[in-house]
Amino acid sequence: MSTSTATLVKQKVKTLAERLRNFRVYHRYLGLVLGVFVLISSTTGILLGWKKDVDLLQPLTQKGSSTDLQQWLPLAELSARSLAGLDSAAAINNNPIDRIEARLDKGIVKTIFKEGSWEVQLDASTGKVLSVARRHSDWIEKVHDGSIISDLFKLISMNVLGFGLLILSITGFFLWFYPRKIRKIKSE
């Protein structure tokens, strides 16, 4: 190998080694920052994956007496009975309703309240309270996506997490690729 070729090889190796050091720094610090988000997101994601199977996370969906909509009570009456059921079971009144979910195949309605992650399940035909319980999956979901802080934080944190993981993937590839390339150049 001539002196000019050896110099060229040394220069290539030096350039690649410098890039590799930069990628290591970016990868390390970005990984440390994103690690917190990934840890929270993955832990809460695992819990959310089990929410339908673990009663502590989300109450088991009860079964009503009829799936025939003609026999169901009016929505206004069901919402009033839900409010009364929450007050009676948990001594909570003036908790605004967030949404009412109808489960046609089960013959029930679930009333989800805005505060405290409460849920009341009613037999849609009789109006009987079947269950009053907390939905821990709701606040876990808010932690998972960042909306527990604010919708703006959710938007920013999910974008930072997405782009950060993309950058970690790219720098991780180069951390794997450049040492191989350096070894190949040195061996030639």
The token duo for 162 is 């997405």
What single-letter DSSP state applies at residue 55? T
pLDDT bucket at 141, cuts 50 / 70 / 90: very high
pLDDT at res. 130: 97
Q: Where are the domains of the chain?
A: 3-50+144-187, 69-134
- Looking at residue 1, what is its pLDDT? 54
The pLDDT of residue 77 is 96
Quote the pLDDT of residue 13.
Answer: 81
Asked whether the predicted pLDDT for residue 2 surpasses 60, the reply is yes
Are the beta carbons of 110 and 121 closer than 8 angstroms? yes
Q: Which residue has the higher pLDDT, 130 or 8?
A: 130
| CATH architecture group of domain 69-134 | Roll (3.10)
What is the reported pTM?
0.72
Q: Is 94 left (phi over 0), alpha (psi -120 to 50) or beta?
A: left
For residues 40 and 10, give the distance between their C-alpha atoms in angstroms, rounded to a whole number: 44
Could you count the other beta carbons within 10 Å of the beta carbon of residue 83? Answer: 19
Task: Using the CB atoms, write b or e for 24-62: b if 16+ within 10 Å.
Answer: eebbeebbeebeebbeebeebeebbeebeeeeebbbebb
Residue type at 173 in one-letter notation: F
What does the alpha-carbon distance between residue 184 and residue 186 come to, in Å, rounded to a whole number? Answer: 5
The pLDDT of 147-162, averaged and rounded, is: 93
Compute the half-sphere exposure of residue 11: CA atoms within 13 Å on the CB side of its CA.
6
**Cα atoms in the Cβ-side hemisphere of radius 13 Å centred on 89:** 17
pLDDT in tens, 62-74: 999 999 999 999 9
Q: What is the largest CA-CA distance in the chain?
A: 94
Tell me the pLDDT tens digit for each residue of 76-115.
Answer: 999 999 999 999 988 888 899 999 999 999 999 999 999 9
Backbone dihedral angles phi then psi of residue 37, each to the nearest 5 degrees: -65, -40
Q: Residue 141: which of 154, 159, 156, 160 has the closest Cα?
A: 154
pLDDT in tens, 5-60: 778 878 888 888 888 888 888 888 988 989 998 999 999 999 999 998 888 899 99
